[in-house]
Amino acid sequence: MSQILNDNEIKEFKKNGAIHLKGKFDIKWIEKLKEGIHKAKINPSPRFTNHTKDEKLPSYLEDFWTWNLHEEFTDFVYNSPTAKIASELLDAKKINLVMDNWFFREAGSKSKPPFHHDISYFDFEGSMCVIWIPLEPVKKQDGIAWVKGSHLWNKLFLRTRFNDGHKVDGEAGIVNGKKYEITPDILKNKKDYEFLEWDLEVGDCVYFDIRTLHGALHETTPKSDVNRFTLRMAKENSKIIYRGDWAREERAIMEANGYKNGDDLSGKMFPTLYENY
């Protein structure tokens, strides 16, 4: 398979921690993911959540680990350019899927994602990246912003819940041998950070490092429904390493599938999407 990205794109990803890639996805993939989300809303997994507390208000819905429940997601995961691009960004010989999410923000929703980095949410350790792919065109002020270079801070921030109120799980300090801090209040100190944010067309996406801080920077609420799909992918030698108690629900699912602390991120729950040894 020939190279999809050029060297400058790969350098930009490594330096900034996030990159906007234009037009890498054919419209057929976008339509397919939309169909998948439509079906997934009707038939959610046990992990499905509405992050909006007041059920009378426009909702902010999320589900995860649904790649094998809907054929549209399965097809995308295995057959779209996603994993090949991840292999180029991470200099990987092998790419495994670690988690998929879909998000649906209903028109008028005031709920939004807090600033966070994905690395501390689950028991995964290694070199990982995330694809964020909006299924409608999105303007900067309606999208996600990434804190430039934050993947290189060498810090771990506690998990912040997406539910309204954005409660922080656990307490700052050493947990299982690693130091966790409270995420800085980025919204109150915007001038202290440099943000990456883009207008995206259908077929565009953002890839970011699993350690890069990101969240909603602006107060805007969507005027029409918003569908987004994300995947987290890991380079070879990534492992399951237990974090804090906050990850216990996801850990229980992995344990029920036969995984334990220290296992490779591979096998049934974490399929290999790309390999080139």
Choose between 94 and 214: whose C-beta lies nearer to Fe ion.
214
Q: What is the closest distance, in whole angstroms, from the C-beta atom of residue 23 to Fe ion in the complex?
A: 23
Nearer to Fe ion among residue 118 and residue 123 (C-beta): 118
Displacement of CA 111 from its chain's centroid (Å)? 17
Chain residue at closest Cβ approach to Fe ion: 118
CB of 101 to Fe ion, least distance (A): 8
Region binding Fe ion by CB under 5 A among candidate stretches 65-73, 113-121, 134-142, 172-180: 113-121
Site string for Fe ion, 62-101 (x = CB under 5 A): ----------------------------------------
Least Cβ distance, residue 260 to Fe ion (angstroms): 26
- 42: tokens are 């009707």
Closest distance of CB 7 from Fe ion, Å: 27
CB of 128 to Fe ion, least distance (A): 12
> Beta-carbon neighbour count of residue 256 at 10 Å?
9
Q: What is the CA radius of gyration of the chain?
A: 18
3-state secondary structure of 156: coil
If binding is defined by CB under 5 A, does position 106 make contact with Fe ion? no
Nearest to 64 by CA among 266, 261, 200, 247: 247
Distance between CA atoms of 206 and 12, rounded to whole angstroms?
12
What tokens appear for 119 in the block? Answer: 């690395």
How is residue 114 annotated by DSSP?
P
How many residues are present in the chain? 277
Q: Can residue 118 be called a binding residue for Fe ion (CB under 5 A)? A: yes
Give Cβ neighbours of residue 34 (< 8 Å, ≥ 6 apart). Answer: 135, 227
Name the segment binding Fe ion (CB under 5 A); options: 2-10, 63-71, 116-124, 193-201. Answer: 116-124
- H helices of 116-267, in order, are 248-256
The CA distance from 120 to 133, in Å, is: 21
118 vs 142 by CB, closer to Fe ion = 118
With CB under 5 A, what is the number of residues at the site for Fe ion? 1
With binding defined as CB under 5 A, does residue 123 bind Fe ion?
no
Nearest distance, CB of residue 18 and Fe ion, angstroms: 11
Q: How far is the CB of 118 from Fe ion (least distance, A)?
A: 5
Q: Pick the closer one to Fe ion by CB: 48 or 272.
A: 48
Residue with Cβ nearer Fe ion (94 or 222): 222
What is the number of other CB atoms lying within 10 angstroms of the CB of residue 270?
23
For 8-41, the three-class secondary structure string (H helix, E strand, C coil) is HHHHHHHHHCEEEECCCCCHHHHHHHHHHHHHHH
Nearer to Fe ion, 72 or 209 (CB): 209
Contact 101, 243 (CB under 8 A): no
- In the complex with Fe ion, the residue whose CB is nearer, 94 or 129, is 129
Contact residues for Fe ion (CB under 5 A)? Answer: 118
